[in-house]
Amino acid sequence: MTVPRALIWTVALVATVHVTIRDHTFVPAIVHVKPGEAIVWQNTDQDPHTVTSGSKDAGDAKFASSPLIPDGKTFTLRLTHPGKYPYFCKPHQFEASMHGSILVTR
């Protein structure tokens, strides 16, 4: 079967980066994406986690925080502006492994 070139381009443009949350750890802790690419976190822990912008208690609100993500559920985020976006999990902000970074570059 021949796949039209236009379709291949479409697939490339909606590439998705996956982050797994397991044992209170974002894996991988640092992800690189292009503007607009989807980042999908999947929680595989029994404990709920969040993806919250910033690196401190209150966060910096560069993007809207996820709700608590239950076991087995996902949260999807797209960032359109290049930059470095540190993030953390609100309930476990004092655990080093519950911090991560998103690097958005053109």
Contact set with Cu ion (CB under 5 A)? 49, 89, 92, 98
Minimum distance from CB of 88 to Cu ion (Å)?
8
User: What is the number of other CB atoms lying within 10 angstroms of the CB of residue 17?
Assistant: 16
Nearer to Cu ion, 63 or 88 (CB): 88
- State the amino acid at position 20 in one-letter form: T
Minimum distance from CB of 49 to Cu ion (Å)?
3
Nearer to Cu ion, 37 or 48 (CB): 48
Torsion of CA 41, 45, 48, 53, to 10 degrees: -40
Nearer to Cu ion, 92 or 99 (CB): 92
Minimum distance from CB of 56 to Cu ion (Å)?
15
- 3 state SS of 17: strand
Cis peptide leading into 28, omega within 30 of 0?
Answer: yes
| Residue closest to Cu ion when measured from CB atoms | 89
Rg for the chain (alpha carbons), in Å?
15
